[in-house]
Amino acid sequence: MLISAITWIWVSSGLLLIFLVLLHSPKGDGMGGLAASGSSMFSSASSAESTLNKATWTCLAIFLGLAIILSAGWLK
């Protein structure tokens, strides 16, 4: 029962992580954008982007932590 619940949380955090990564705004135009707008590449993130970064890192930590716990077999 516990393994099943943790597996569902792991899957949910993986799907949420995919969604959060897709919400991030693109950072540039690839290699062509380096020469054209070099100074704008290092601009600071807005408050929304900062919050999105924190949520993404938190979800990643949950996902990886649960992956380690489930793969190690510590809950048998």
Q: Where are the domains of the chain?
A: 1-17+52-76
Spatial contact of 17 and 56, defined as CB atoms under 8 Å apart: yes
Instruction: Quick: pLDDT tens for 7-31.
Output: 999 999 999 999 999 998 887 666 6
Global pTM reads: 0.75
For 16-20, which contacts have Cβ atoms below 8 Å and span 24 or more sequence positions?
A: 16/59, 17/56, 17/59, 17/60, 17/63, 20/52, 20/55, 20/56, 20/59
Backbone angles phi, psi at 46, to 5 degrees: -75, 175
Instruction: Quick: pLDDT tens for 41-74.
Output: 555 668 888 999 999 999 999 999 999 999 999 9
Q: What is the pLDDT of residue 44?
A: 63
51 token code pair: 């919050």
Q: What angle do CA 30, 32, 33 make, to 5 degrees?
A: 70
Q: What is the pLDDT of residue 34?
A: 56
